[in-house]
Structure 1
Amino acid sequence: MNTRNLFRVFNRPVILNCICKRDKGYKIVQRPDPKTLKMPNLADAPSIMTIIKEKQRLNGPLTVAEYMHIVITNPTEGYYEKKDVIGETGDFITSPEISQLFGEILAVWFYAETQKMSPGKPLQIVELGPGKATLLIDILRVLNRYGYKAPDLTLHLVEISTAMQVAQANRLCVSHRETDLESPHNREGETVSGIKVYWYNDLKKVPNNFSWYIAHEFFDVLPIHKFEKTEEGWREVLIDLDENDKLRYRISANETQATRVLVRPPLDAGDRKALEISPRSLGIARQLANRVDQFGGIALIADYGHTGEKEDTFRAFHKHKIVDPLENPGMADLTADVDFSQLRLAASMTPGDENYALVVGPVAQMEFLQRMQANARLQVLVDNAKTENDKEKIEAAYDMLVNPTKMGERFKFMAFYPSGMAQILEKYPPLGFSTPK
C-alpha cells in the first residue's frame, strides 16, 4: 500500500456506535429554587452542645477557633442570634452605650483627618460589627452639623447575625427589607433623612470607594487559635470532652496545621510560653489596609487589647462578669484581647507590588479622648444637663471611659491611612495619636 492509500485509510470516518455506545455517566436533577428555601424550625434546631459533640465525634477535638465560631455564629443557636446581649441588661456594655460623647468624638476625628486628604464627599461609612447602631447614630448627628446630606453618604454595615441586622435596621431606618440571594448585600434600608443603608455578611462585598472604616469592639470576638510552648515545641490548645461529657482543654500531641502555618517569626520570638493568633483578624486587617490604600479613606480600630505582652486572654462574659468560656456554650460572650502588634504586622508592608497602609498607634483610649479635647465636650453636656442627677450620670460615664482603672487603659486605638499620606502626616500628625502642639 502506497503512502497516498495509507492516508486515505486514516482519513475515512470511523463508525463506533456499535462497539462504543454507552449510557450517560450522570443523572440530570432539578436544583431547588433558592427563593423557596426556608430556615429550619427553631424548635427543631440542635443545641450548641449537641453540635459540638457531633463535630467532635466526626472530626476529633476542636480548636479554640472552631469552638468560638460555632458558639458565636451558629445561625439558629449562636450567641448573637438569641437575645439582646449589649447594654446594662445584657452581658457587656460598650463605649457608645455609656456616653454619646464617644461617638461624637470619633465623628470629629474622622472629619478632621479626612480634610487632610480630600473634601470627603461622597462618603461611605463602613462599620464592622455595628452592635446596636448607637455609634452610627451619634456619628450621623455630628455629620449633619458638618453639612452632610443624604446624597453625600451611604452606610454599609458588616454584620453576620440576622437578629442583629434587624435590631440595627429598626433603630436606623424608617423602612428596610431583606434582599434576594443574587444581591451582594442581604438587607437594605433608608434613614428618616434619606440616607441609604446596606448590610453585608462579608467585608469583601462592600463597594470599593472612599470610606471611613470603623471597627469598634469587633476584632475581640473573632476566633483565635491558642498555642503553648512545650518541651517538644509549640503545640495547639484543643477542646474535647472528658469522661463526664464536660468540655475541657487539652494539648495536641503533635503539631497541627495551624501550628505549622501560624506560629512563626516574629510572633514566637522571645521567651513567651503561650500565643493567641487570629488568622481571621489578620486577614481583615490586611483587607482594610488594602482598601484604604487603593481607594482612599481611613480605618479606625478601637478595642481592648495589648501590644504582644499578654499570653492567655481567652474568656467569657455573662451578666458583666467573667465566666468559664467552656461552661454553658452559647449563653456567654466569648472574647480575647486584641494583639495590636499582630494587626500592625498584617497591615504594614514595605512599598511594593502589594498595597499597604500607614499604621499609627495603638494609644490608650484615655489618651486618645483627652487629646481630642473630649473634656471640652463633657463640659458642654454637663452645662446642658437639666438636673444634678443627670450631671452626675454624665460625669460618671466619662470617668468610665477615661479612668485608667476602668476602660481608659485597657481599650486602645489604632488607625490605618493611605501610604501616600506619609509627608502630610509628618507635617500634620494624626489627631488623638500625638500630643497637640
Structure 2
Amino acid sequence: MNSRHIFKMCNKLLLQQTISRSYGYKVVKRPDPKTLKMPAPGTTPSLMEIIKEKIKLNGPLTVAEYMHIVISNPTEGYYMKKEVIGEGGDFITSPEISQLFGEILGIWFYAETQKMGPGKPLQIVELGPGKATLLLDILRVLNRLGYKAPDLSLHLVEISSTMQSVQANRLCISHREVDLELPHNYEGETVSGIKVYWYNDLKKVPNNFSWYIAHEFFDVLPIHKFEKTEKGWRELLIDLDGQDKLYYRITAEETTSCKSLIRPPLDSGDRTELEISARGLGIARQLATRVDQFGGIALIADYGHEGEKGDTFRAFHKHKVVNPLENPGKCDLTADVDFSQLRIAASKTPSNENYALVMGPVKQKEFLERCQAEARLKVLMDNAKSESDREKIKMSYDMLIDPAKMGERFKFMAFYPSTMTEMLNKYPPLGFSTPLHDLTYFEKVKGVGAGDHLT
C-alpha cells in the first residue's frame, strides 16, 4: 500500500471523528456575577491553614506572596474583616491623632497648586483612605477656601469592603453599589453634593488634574526580602519546619525576583540586606506619569528611610510589635518605605518620557513646622473650650513632631510635573525647603475651630 493511499484513509477517518464530536458539547449556563456573594468570615479555612496548604502543594512562599495573602484574602484578610485603625485597633495614624495634620496637608496642596493655575476642576485621589479622617479635614479646609461641589470630586482606591463601608458612612449622605461595567465599584455623595467614587486599582481612576495622597499606604505593599551571600544575592522565603511552623529560609540559587528586581543602584554600597516592593515601584511610576502627563501633585507620607536600613519587616498587634509569621490575619504586616527606591521609580529613565520632579524625603517634624503648623496649633488652642482640651491638643501635636515618636520616623515626599522646574527654582516647594512666611492661607482658615465640620 503506497503512502498516498495511507494519507487518504487517515484524512477520511479524521474527518469522520471531527464531525462526530459535534454532538459531544453541552450548553452550560454561567452564573450571574451580580448574584454571587462572598462566603461569610469564619466559614472558610483560616489564613494559617491556607498558607500551610499552599506551601505543601507549591513549596515555600516569597515574603511578598505571604503578605498578599494575609492582607487581601477576600474573607480572612487583615483589612477585610474589621476596623483596624485607632486606639481599639492595632495602630493609629497621624490624622486620627490631630485634625491639624489633615488641615496642614490641605493648605499645602492648595498653596502648591496656585503655582500651576486655578486647580479647578479638581480630583482628590487617596490611596488607602483608612477611616477617611484625612479627607474630612482636607475638605473642611477647601470649603473655607471657597471650593464648591462642582469644583471637585473624591476618588478613593480601596480593596477592603469593610473599610469602604466605614469611609462611605463617614463621608457620604448617600452611597450605593454600581454596575460591574463601570470602572468604579461604589459611589456616593457628601452632604454638600461632592461626588465620591471607589476603585480597587489606581489604573481605573480617571486621568485628570489631581491631588494624589498616599498616607501610610506604601508600607503595607508586599515586599521581597533579599540577603547578600558569598554567592551573590539570594531571596528569603517562608517555609514550614518539622513542627509545622512557619520560618524563614534562604534560597540556594537566584530566584526570578533576584534577577528582575535587584539592579543598580539598589544594590550599591556595602548593603547586605534589601527589601523591594515591586508593586510599590510600579505605583510610584504610575503617580509620576499621571502627575506629569495630566497635571497635579502627589504627596507620600510614611515611615521609612533612604536606603540605610535592611530588615524592617514586622507586625503590629494592639500597638505592639509581634512576630509577623505568627497569627497571620490578626496582625498588621508592614515594612519601612525605602524612599530612595521611590525616587528612582518616579524619576526620568531613558525609556520614559513622563516622569516627576521628586522632592524629599523630609522628616515629618520639619515638614509640619515649615508649613507653619504652630500657627494652626495656636488657633486650635485659642478656640479650645477648656484647659483640658488645650492640653489634649498640645499633647497630640507633640506626638506628631516629637523626634522620639513620629517626628523623625515619618517622612514626606512629593512628585511635581517635570515642566515645573523653573517655577520651583523660583518658588521652592513648601515644607521641603524654605519655611512658609506668608500666612495668607492660614488667615483664611483660622476661623475653623476644633469641632467644625464641612457643610
Aligned equivalent of 2:358: 359
Superposed CA deviations along residues 369-388 of structure 1, whole A, max 9, x for unmatched, are 00000001001111111111
- Written as runs of structure 1 = structure 2, the 5 A alignment for 1:153-192 is 153-192=152-191
- Read off the aligned partner of 2:345 and give its amino acid letter: A
Aligned equivalent of 1:52: 51
Aligned equivalent of 1:197: 196
- Written as runs of structure 1 = structure 2, the 5 A alignment for 1:25-104 is 28-104=27-103
**Once the 2 structures are TM-superposed, how far is the Cα of residue 40 of structure 1 from its aligned partner?**
2.1
Corresponding residue SS for 1:391: helix
Superposed CA deviations along residues 5-28 of structure 1, whole A, max 9, x for unmatched, are xxxxxxxxxxx9998342338654
Distance 1:192 1:257, change over 3 A: same
Between the aligned partners of 2:431 and 2:176, the Cα distance in structure 1 is: 38
- Read off the aligned partner of 1:69 and give its amino acid letter: H
Corresponding residue SS for 1:366: helix
Bigger CA drift: 346-355 or 63-72?
Answer: 346-355
Aligned equivalent of 2:15: 20
Conserved in 1, the CA contact under 8 Å of 2:83 and 2:162? Answer: no
Superposed CA deviations along residues 355-377 of structure 1, whole A, max 9, x for unmatched, are 10111100000000000000010
Between the aligned partners of 2:81 and 2:351, the Cα distance in structure 1 is: 46
Aligned equivalent of 2:379: 380
Between the aligned partners of 1:186 and 1:202, the Cα distance in structure 2 is: 10
- Read off the aligned partner of 2:215 and give its amino acid letter: H
Aligned equivalent of 1:129: 128
- Read off the aligned partner of 1:109 and give its amino acid letter: W
Distance 1:236 1:18, change over 3 A: closer
Corresponding residue SS for 1:151: helix
Aligned equivalent of 2:251: 252
Aligned equivalent of 1:217: 216
Between the aligned partners of 1:335 and 1:18, the Cα distance in structure 2 is: 63
**Once the 2 structures are TM-superposed, how far is the Cα of residue 408 of structure 1 from its aligned partner?**
0.4
Between the aligned partners of 1:114 and 1:79, the Cα distance in structure 2 is: 36
Conserved in 1, the CA contact under 8 Å of 2:106 and 2:138? Answer: yes
**Once the 2 structures are TM-superposed, how far is the Cα of residue 36 of structure 1 from its aligned partner?**
1.8
Aligned equivalent of 1:371: 370
- Written as runs of structure 1 = structure 2, the 5 A alignment for 1:250-399 is 250-350=249-349, 353-399=352-398
Between the aligned partners of 1:35 and 1:231, the Cα distance in structure 2 is: 55
**Once the 2 structures are TM-superposed, how far is the Cα of residue 29 of structure 1 from its aligned partner?**
3.0
**Once the 2 structures are TM-superposed, how far is the Cα of residue 30 of structure 1 from its aligned partner?**
2.7
Superposed CA deviations along residues 26-54 of structure 1, whole A, max 9, x for unmatched, are 65433222112121233421110011011
Identity of aligned residues (%): 79
Between the aligned partners of 2:39 and 2:162, the Cα distance in structure 1 is: 15
Conserved in 1, the CA contact under 8 Å of 2:152 and 2:194? Answer: yes
Aligned equivalent of 2:119: 120
Corresponding residue SS for 2:423: helix
**Once the 2 structures are TM-superposed, how far is the Cα of residue 238 of structure 1 from its aligned partner?**
0.5
**Once the 2 structures are TM-superposed, how far is the Cα of residue 232 of structure 1 from its aligned partner?**
1.4
Superposed CA deviations along residues 97-139 of structure 1, whole A, max 9, x for unmatched, are 0000000000000000000001011000000000000000000
- Read off the aligned partner of 2:337 and give its amino acid letter: V
Conserved in 1, the CA contact under 8 Å of 2:91 and 2:316? Answer: yes
Between the aligned partners of 1:65 and 1:412, the Cα distance in structure 2 is: 23
Superposed CA deviations along residues 328-363 of structure 1, whole A, max 9, x for unmatched, are 111110000000000000000057752101111000
Aligned equivalent of 1:416: 415
Bigger CA drift: 139-148 or 242-251?
Answer: 242-251
- Read off the aligned partner of 1:97 and give its amino acid letter: E
**Once the 2 structures are TM-superposed, how far is the Cα of residue 181 of structure 1 from its aligned partner?**
1.5
- Read off the aligned partner of 2:179 and give its amino acid letter: D
Between the aligned partners of 1:161 and 1:363, the Cα distance in structure 2 is: 30
Aligned equivalent of 1:407: 406
Between the aligned partners of 1:97 and 1:353, the Cα distance in structure 2 is: 38
**Once the 2 structures are TM-superposed, how far is the Cα of residue 254 of structure 1 from its aligned partner?**
1.2
Between the aligned partners of 2:207 and 2:265, the Cα distance in structure 1 is: 32
Distance 1:17 1:277, change over 3 A: same
Between the aligned partners of 1:143 and 1:193, the Cα distance in structure 2 is: 12
Conserved in 1, the CA contact under 8 Å of 2:42 and 2:76? Answer: no
Gaps of 5+ in 1: 1-15
Between the aligned partners of 2:379 and 2:40, the Cα distance in structure 1 is: 51
The TM-score normalised by the length of structure 1 is 0.94
- Read off the aligned partner of 1:253 and give its amino acid letter: A
- Read off the aligned partner of 1:105 and give its amino acid letter: I
Between the aligned partners of 2:280 and 2:99, the Cα distance in structure 1 is: 28
Aligned equivalent of 2:450: none
Between the aligned partners of 1:285 and 1:42, the Cα distance in structure 2 is: 33
Between the aligned partners of 1:353 and 1:81, the Cα distance in structure 2 is: 36
Between the aligned partners of 1:171 and 1:317, the Cα distance in structure 2 is: 26
CA-atom RMSD in angstroms: 1.5
Corresponding residue SS for 1:41: coil
Distance 1:353 1:230, change over 3 A: closer
Corresponding residue SS for 1:30: coil
- Count of matched residue pairs: 422
Between the aligned partners of 1:281 and 1:18, the Cα distance in structure 2 is: 57
Between the aligned partners of 2:119 and 2:315, the Cα distance in structure 1 is: 39
Between the aligned partners of 1:268 and 1:302, the Cα distance in structure 2 is: 24
Between the aligned partners of 2:313 and 2:70, the Cα distance in structure 1 is: 14
Between the aligned partners of 2:27 and 2:344, the Cα distance in structure 1 is: 50
Between the aligned partners of 1:225 and 1:417, the Cα distance in structure 2 is: 28
Aligned equivalent of 2:445: none
